[in-house]
């Protein structure tokens, strides 16, 4: 039975029994605490927890899921996959245990002719929570299961909760017995691969509090409305119904595995390690395909990093199979063809998906070539210098590979392990933390975390917040709720920072790339400054405010007031984003598709799919087209219509965005710019004013970013540049049209002068060599020069001085030269050794590293020449003394 057929039977079965068939949500989860949709019930959590009113009493879905917490197990077990599909049926206070168990047993054991899955009841076992006698009685009544095939297990496996106060309840799981060939007898309690879990039924019936651990919490009451949440693993059922040994061999996955075998010339089933690698490839290609179809792009952060890791592990596995060239152009089409019947978007979007994947592979192959060479050298060096049982690769080496070459730490760990090495992970993590701290040192944000989502449930139950800001800037309304320090409160007083929930609001909440409105909320006796506006849960708008004066209470009448100047600038910027996007596509073609944006009053940035820098001429053309659209005063028309209708009209949707059945479509100049967008916009294009495209940069191997100033900010930037040009024409005594040549001449003269100065300084340096030679001392058989040379312009000068002294000492003598200098306010030390000194045990890299530690920094290098640096110039004498002491030792 094909995977798509199992999926169809599931949806038909529950659809025929009154369940609303809900399409799969995106792999990109709405839950801010999750990177991905990790389980079939995730999209339904707001309904199951009562946070959002349920739109239907019962539902069913086949949900796309991604989990990478067990990524190391992929390929090694029959059931671990990073992408999987979870069939679910849900009841929101409608039916409970008896119906849920009855549905599960009927669908599993009914004949294929009757629309069932035709499992033999004799092969099925169930587990229940050890105290759930009700479930046991129902399994005996409905399924006729004997006692020996119903096993009681504890809270660690058969009790569900979110880890937070809220709904919870016992679970009952259904297992398929694969037979004695796959393991020991004894049922699911043996935790053996012989027994495969195929269905989990969660009976959500209690309210819990004081959650101390997975198994330690307080049950405070029964829920007034008991819920059902079930999940059947589609891939697990597929491999059982298709008679294969694991999920990697089912019809939706096996084609990629076979292609990997073909490309490598190795036979699947011949060598265990090769089999694992082929399964990893098959799993990761499919997961990557599905992630990119939902708008995720490779990057170094968050979801993009997970995707990048999957892609790079695929490349690495192919290399371990002996294939060193690009393989994605062969692998990804296989996965597309296997998945397109269930998810047509992987075919319609394949041009975009394949561009991302192929470019990522090309980039990583170059990374591998550079990084592997360095890592191989480090492995050899580590082994040679190690005295422990397990050699340990230095953390700074792993960090260099990551920071300079883009070599992911997990790949370094894998390669090190293959070579019998550990990695100093704590040192690596420390260096990464320091880097993040530096990156964030200057970053300031007015965003503050919203309250725990559970606090919004009562407010959301009163209905959706009505947004009026498309039509008016001021809206009379009522205060529905106040949150102070994450807790619902009756009022907030002057000086408080609080969240305010209104029945209606004209203030735009940050979304779709547009920043939140600036403004106020006022009423009789209070004045609130709006600091931020967000949508913490679907359908609810929360205003983060500071109470400037007075006291505001729940139930008070209020008016939301948008700052008109800010809103005007925000609408200009958002419409400018659409104009730039249309201009990009006109110049570069339809593949230059938006991949993210941000706009606020006076400024916009737009990321788009493209893999090379734009020439100045192309940038100028895009800017001119956008400004011509402003000049032409194109009409801006917004309409609300059905999603399918908007798409049939050619409306562009942003990959990764989520759209409801009814959408808002924004036209600028008719079909020239037609996008789905919930932001605020100008009435006609001329109101944008002016666009000044100020930069175009890379934000990844397949994405570029343009930034523009808009409206008055754009004019001010042009005025500033005009003032600079006027100043230069005056200072250089040259007309504007000759400025470029005049500046070019000055730069050329400056470089020539700098070259002459450098030659003079090098000549001066050589005169210092005799004096340094006179400081030479003898330590055992070594001749040692260890001196500070004061301030120098560069480490190149210091290196030149060190090597000159070493040459004068003679290559046949056992000599060590260690010189330190103040280079632009930072200490630097360089150590050089002769061959005879190295034969006596003197290693420049070790000496420089020890000196750098004294200087408050890091260092190292080869045995013959190495350098270090730091932050404490005053520690130079101690650093040199440390080198001398090390040589004496």
User: How do strand 497-502 and strand 526-537 relate by DSSP bridges?
Assistant: unpaired
For residue 802, tell me if it sits in a domain: yes
Residue 601 is encoded by which pair of tokens?
């009053």
Strands (E), 149-233: 150-153, 159-161, 166-177, 195-209, 218-233
Per DSSP, the residues of 19-87 read -EE-PPPPSB-S-TT-SB--STTGGGHHHHTTSS--SSSEEEEEEEEE--TTGGGTTTSSS--SEEEEE
Model's pTM, two decimal places?
Answer: 0.66
Q: Are residues 697 and 793 in the same domain?
A: no
**CB–CB of 263/330 below 8 Å?**
yes
**CB–CB of 776/814 below 8 Å?**
no
In whole angstroms, give the CA distance from residue 292 to residue 732: 54
Residue 347 is encoded by which pair of tokens?
């075919």
For residue 533, tell me if it sits in a domain: yes
Q: Are residues 244 and 267 in the same domain?
A: no
Q: Are residues 580 and 554 in the same domain?
A: no
Question: Chain-wide mean pLDDT for the chain?
Answer: 89
Number of structural domains (the chain) is 5
Q: Report how far apart the first and last C-alpha atoms of the chain are (Å, whole number).
A: 74
pLDDT value of residue 699? 83
pLDDT value of residue 448? 39
Output the CA torsion 255→259→265→268 (10° steps). -20
> Cα–Cα–Cα angle for 384, 386, 388, nearest 5°?
145
**CB–CB of 107/87 below 8 Å?**
no
Q: Are residues 239 and 259 in the same domain?
A: no
Number of H helices, E strands in the chain: 26, 34
Per-residue buried b or exposed e for 103-120, using 16+ beta carbons within 10 Å of the residue's own CB = bbbbbbbbeeeeebbebe
For residue 805, tell me if it sits in a domain: yes
Q: Pick out the residues of the known binding site.
A: 574, 578, 677, 681
**CB–CB of 784/815 below 8 Å?**
yes
Domain containing residue 823: CATH number: 3.10.310.40
Q: Are residues 195 and 53 in the same domain?
A: yes
For residue 750, tell me if it sits in a domain: no
Q: Write down the H helix ranges in 526-563.
A: none
Instruction: List, for residues 344-390, the tens digit of each pLDDT value.
Output: 999 988 998 998 899 889 888 887 776 777 777 788 888 877 766 77
> Cα–Cα–Cα angle for 297, 41, 94, nearest 5°?
150
Residue 510 is encoded by which pair of tokens?
């940050």
Token pair 């989502």: residue: 453
pLDDT value of residue 461? 77
Q: Which residues contact 355 (CB under 8 A, 6 or more apart)?
A: 591, 609, 611, 702
In whole angstroms, give the CA distance from residue 612 to residue 620: 16
In whole angstroms, give the CA distance from residue 73 to residue 319: 19
In whole angstroms, give the CA distance from residue 254 to residue 3: 12
pLDDT beneath 50: ranges in the chain: 442-451
Instruction: Tell me the residue length of the chain.
Output: 889
Instruction: List, for residues 651-692, the tens digit of each pLDDT value.
Output: 877 655 666 778 899 999 989 999 999 999 999 999 999 999
DSSP state of 699: S
In whole angstroms, give the CA distance from residue 105 to residue 232: 12
For residue 492, the SS3 value is strand
In whole angstroms, give the CA distance from residue 288 to residue 464: 36
Which region holds residue 771: left if phi is over 0, alpha if psi is between -120 and 50, else beta?
Answer: alpha
For residue 729, tell me if it sits in a domain: no
Give me the domain span that covers residue 318.
254-440
Q: Mark which of 530, 562, 594 sits at the end of a domain.
A: 562
Q: Pick out the residues of the known binding site for Zn(2+).
A: 574, 578, 677, 681
Token pair 């000759």: residue: 738
Q: Are residues 551 and 594 in the same domain?
A: no
Instruction: List, for residues 549-598, the tens digit of each pLDDT value.
Output: 999 999 999 999 999 999 999 999 999 999 999 999 999 988 888 888 99
Q: Mark which of 562, 579, 610 sits at the end of a domain.
A: 562
In whole angstroms, give the CA distance from residue 692 to residue 706: 11
User: How do strand 83-92 and strand 58-66 relate by DSSP bridges?
Assistant: antiparallel
Domain containing residue 458: CATH number: 2.40.30.130
Q: Mark which of 249, 265, 292 sits at the end of a domain.
A: 249
**CB–CB of 145/97 below 8 Å?**
no
Which region holds residue 210: left if phi is over 0, alpha if psi is between -120 and 50, else beta?
Answer: left
Handedness of CA 151, 152, 157, 161 (dihedral sign): positive
Per-residue buried b or exposed e for 165-180, using 16+ beta carbons within 10 Å of the residue's own CB = bbbbbbbbbbbbbbee
Q: Are residues 206 and 263 in the same domain?
A: no
For residue 731, tell me if it sits in a domain: no
pLDDT value of residue 412? 83
């Amino acid at each position: 039975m094909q995977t798509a057929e199992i999926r169809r039977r599931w949806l038909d079965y529950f659809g025929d029994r009154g369940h609303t068939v809900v399409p799969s949500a995106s792999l990109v989860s709405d839950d801010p605490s999750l990177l991905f949709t990790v389980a079939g019930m995730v999209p339904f959590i707001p309904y199951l927890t009562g946070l959002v009113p349920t739109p239907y009493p019962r539902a069913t879905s086949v949900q796309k899921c991604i989990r990478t917490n067990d990524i190391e197990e992929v390929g090694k077990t029959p059931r671990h996959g990073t992408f999987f599909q979870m069939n679910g049926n849900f009841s929101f206070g409608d039916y409970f245990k008896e119906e849920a168990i009855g549905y599960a047993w009927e669908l599993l054991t009914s004949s294929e002719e009757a629309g069932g899955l035709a499992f033999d009841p004799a092969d099925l076992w169930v587990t229940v929570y050890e105290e759930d006698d009700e479930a046991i009685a129902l399994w005996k009544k409905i399924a006729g299961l004997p006692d020996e095939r119903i096993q009681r297990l504890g809270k660690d496996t058969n009790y569900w909760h979110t880890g937070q106060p809220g709904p919870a309840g016992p679970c009952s799981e259904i297992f398929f017995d694969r037979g004695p060939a796959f393991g020991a007898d004894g049922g699911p309690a043996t935790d053996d691969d012989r027994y495969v879990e195929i269905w989990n039924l969660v009976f959500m019936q209690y309210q819990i509090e004081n959650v101390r651990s997975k198994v330690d919490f307080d049950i405070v009451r029964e829920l007034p409305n008991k819920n059902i949440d079930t999940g059947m693993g589609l891939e697990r059922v597929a491999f059982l119904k298709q008679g294969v040994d694991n999920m990697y061999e089912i019809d939706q996955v096996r084609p990629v595995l076979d292609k990997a075998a073909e490309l490598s010339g190795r036979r699947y089933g011949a060598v265990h390690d090769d089999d694992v690698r082929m399964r990893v490839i098959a799993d990761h290609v499919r997961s990557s395909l599905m992630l990119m179809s939902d708008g995720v792009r490779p990057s170094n952060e968050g979801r993009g990093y997970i995707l990048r890791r999957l892609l790079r592990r695929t490349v690495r596995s192919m290399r371990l199979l002996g294939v060193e060239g690009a393989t994605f152009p062969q692998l990804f089409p296989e996965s597309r063809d296997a998945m397109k019947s269930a998810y047509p978007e992987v075919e319609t979007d394949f041009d975009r998906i394949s561009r991302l994947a192929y470019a990522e592979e090309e980039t990583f192959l170059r990374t591998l070539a550079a990084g592997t060479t360095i890592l191989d050298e480090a492995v050899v060096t580590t082994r040679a210098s190690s005295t422990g049982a397990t050699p340990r690769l230095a953390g700074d080496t792993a960090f260099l590979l990551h920071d300079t070459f883009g070599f992911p730490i997990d790949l370094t760990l894998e390669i090190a392990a293959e070579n019998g090495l550990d990695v100093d992970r704590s040192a690596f993590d420390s260096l990464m933390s320091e880097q993040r701290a530096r990156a964030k040192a200057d970053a300031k944000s007015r965003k503050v975390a919203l309250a725990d989502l559970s606090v919004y449930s009562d407010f959301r139950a009163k209905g959706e917040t009505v947004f009026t800001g498309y039509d008016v800037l001021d809206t009379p309304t009522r205060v529905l709720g106040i949150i102070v320090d994450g807790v619902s409160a009756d009022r907030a007083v002057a000086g408080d920072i609080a969240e305010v929930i209104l029945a209606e609001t004209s203030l735009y909440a940050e979304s779709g790339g547009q920043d939140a409105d600036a403004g106020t909320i006022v009423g009789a006796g209070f004045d609130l400054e709006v600091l931020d506006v967000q949508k913490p849960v679907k359908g609810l708008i929360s205003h983060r405010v500071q109470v400037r004066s007075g006291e505001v209470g729940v139930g008070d009448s209020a008016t939301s007031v948008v700052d008109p100047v800010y809103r005007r600038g925000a609408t200009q910027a958002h419409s400018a984003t659409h104009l730039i996007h249309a201009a990009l596509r006109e110049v570069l073609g339809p593949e230059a598709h938006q991949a993210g944006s941000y706009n606020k009053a006076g400024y916009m940035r737009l990321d788009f799919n493209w893999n090379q820098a734009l020439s100045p001429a192309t940038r100028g053309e895009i800017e001119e087209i956008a400004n011509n659209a402003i000049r032409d005063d194109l009409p801006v028309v917004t309409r609300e219509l059905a999603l399918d209708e908007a798409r049939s009209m050619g409306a562009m949707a942003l990959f990764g965005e989520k759209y409801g059945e009814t959408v808002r479509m924004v036209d600028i100049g008719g079909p020239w710019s037609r996008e789905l967008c919930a932001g605020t916009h100008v009435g006609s294009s001329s109101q944008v004013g002016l666009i000044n495209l100020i930069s175009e940069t890379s934000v990844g191997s397949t994405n570029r970013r343009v930034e523009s100033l808009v409206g008055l900010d754009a004019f001010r930037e042009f005025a500033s540049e005009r003032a600079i040009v006027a100043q230069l024409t005056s200072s250089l005594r040259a007309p504007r049209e000759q400025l470029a040549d005049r500046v070019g001449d000055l730069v050329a003269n400056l470089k020539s002068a700098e070259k002459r100065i450098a030659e003079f300084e090098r000549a001066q340096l050589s005169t210092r060599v005799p004096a340094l030679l006179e400081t030479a001392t003898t330590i055992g058989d070594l001749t040692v020069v260890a001196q500070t040379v004061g301030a120098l312009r560069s480490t190149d000068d210091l290196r030149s001085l060190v090597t000159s002294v070493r040459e004068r000492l003679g290559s046949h003598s056992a000599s060590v030269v260690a010189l330190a200098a103040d280079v632009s306010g930072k200490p630097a030390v360089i150590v050089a050794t002769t061959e005879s000194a190295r034969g006596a045990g003197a290693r420049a890299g070790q000496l420089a590293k020890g000196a750098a530690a004294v200087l408050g920094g890091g260092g190292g290098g080869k045995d013959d020449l190495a350098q270090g640096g730091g932050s404490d110039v005053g520690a130079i004498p101690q650093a040199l003394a440390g080198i001398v002491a090390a040589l004496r030792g």
